């Protein structure tokens, strides 16, 4: 089964990387830039086919990919070179990969939502009991939750996210009640202790479901995409602030293990359709993560290249290619070092598990 998990992970990564690189490739072609090589995978080439002025390749290692453009890392006199194009076109090309990752996430969300039995809203439908703590502390049937502890609620997962950050089982809710905005400063919940000794809260209400139709599917998928993207940003900030440690990060090994947990659900009695939906939701998280992470101004990532282009637009003069290249090289080495450390932690987690 481990081989199956690895193959599924390779397929997932391959699709995400291919979509990302296709974004760069399509934008480069649209802007008239000469693409010398388009590769899916890294390392020795196992497939190579030349079409026009571009080599299309497949690398042995399914851990990345790239689009090599004329004049991308040096000064080229070719009129179709990347460095000879206006800054705004180069920005589009650099950001197109991340944009396509977000588009992929949106498309998958539309598919998953379309095949769901119903769409979860944020409107309270009922309480499990008349003496439910959240009801006694102010929440009412028909309330549409729009904020929890200051966080704007786009969809049901935003409420769950805030519940996971619980410290005292008391939350500030902002709801729409009778067409008006109402603030509930202290909505309380009961707690429970799990078998492993950890504490959790008891959610004592249900929310309404919406019918699946084109309008609700598009609306929910859009809001869910924004929610996932924001959750990733918040997690990054929490990592910087020290709420999470490097031990909480996951690299390729950790992701393969997580995919294994999802795919392995079928052996635990979970229907194949449900497992597939869980896997698709996991792919959404990964592809949005890849898109956002690539836009960070970290050397060797698309975000850093965009940052250098913005500086060029401001000072009306490009940064020396050798200087920018050195920054990206150092960044790449550091990223590889981080990936190695994260992979070691992932392997340690597997042995502990």
CA distance 307 to 84: 18
First to last CA, the chain: 17
Distance, in Å, from the CA atom of 207 to the CA atom of 205, rounded to the nearest integer, reads: 7
CB-based contacts of 351, cutoff 8 Å, min separation 6? none
Place of tokens 């028909």: 142
Active site residue 192: no
Tell me the Ramachandran region of residue 197: left when phi exceeds 0, alpha when psi lies from -120 to 50, beta otherwise. Answer: left
Cα 18 vs. chain centroid, distance in angstroms? Answer: 16
Residue pair 347/255 in contact (Cβ under 8 Å)? The answer is: no
CA-based nearest residue to 236, from 180, 296, 316:
296
Alpha-carbon distance of 8 to 286, in angstroms, equals 14
CA 65 to chain centre: 18
Please list the active-site residues: 21
């Amino acid at each position: 089964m481990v081989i199956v998990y690895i193959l599924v992970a390779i397929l997932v990564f391959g699709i995400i990387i291919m979509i990302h690189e296709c974004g760069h490739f399509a934008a480069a072609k649209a802007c008239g830039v000469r693409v010398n090589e388009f590769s899916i995978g890294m390392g020795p080439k196992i497939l190579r086919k030349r079409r026009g002025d571009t080599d299309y390749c497949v690398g042995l290692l399914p851990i990345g990919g790239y689009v090599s453009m004329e004049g991308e890392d040096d000064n080229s006199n070719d009129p179709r070179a990347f460095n000879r194009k206006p800054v705004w076109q180069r920005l589009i090309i650099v950001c197109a990969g991340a944009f396509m990752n977000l588009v992929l996430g949106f498309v998958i969300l539309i598919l998953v939502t379309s095949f769901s039995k119903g769409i979860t809203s944020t409107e309270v439908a009922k309480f499990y009991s008349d003496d439910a703590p959240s009801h006694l502390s102010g929440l009412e049937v028909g309330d549409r939750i729009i904020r929890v502890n200051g966080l704007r609620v786009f969809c049901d997962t935003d409420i769950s996210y805030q519940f996971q950050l619980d410290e005292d089982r008391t939350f500030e809710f902002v709801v729409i009640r009778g067409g008006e905005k109402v603030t509930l400063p202290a909505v309380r919940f009961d707690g429970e202790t799990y078998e492993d000794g950890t504490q959790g809260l008891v959610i004592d209400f249900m929310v309404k479901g919406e019918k699946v139709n084109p309008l609700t599917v598009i609306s929910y998928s859009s809001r869910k995409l924004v929610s996932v993207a924001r959750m990733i940003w918040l997690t990054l900030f929490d990592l910087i602030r020290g709420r999470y440690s490097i031990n909480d990060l996951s690299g390729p090994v950790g992701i393969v293990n997580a995919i294994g947990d999802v795919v392995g659900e079928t052996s635990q009695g979970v229907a194949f359709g449900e497992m597939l939906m869980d896997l698709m939701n996991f792919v959404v998280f990964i592809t949005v993560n890849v898109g956002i992470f690539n836009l960070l101004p970290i050397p060797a990532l698309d975000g850093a290249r965009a940052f250098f282009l913005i500086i060029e637009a401001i000072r009306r003069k490009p940064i020396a290619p050798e200087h920018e290249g050195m920054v990206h090289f150092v960044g790449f080495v550091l990223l590889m070092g981080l990936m190695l450390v994260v992979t070691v932690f992932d392997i340690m987690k597997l042995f502990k598990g």
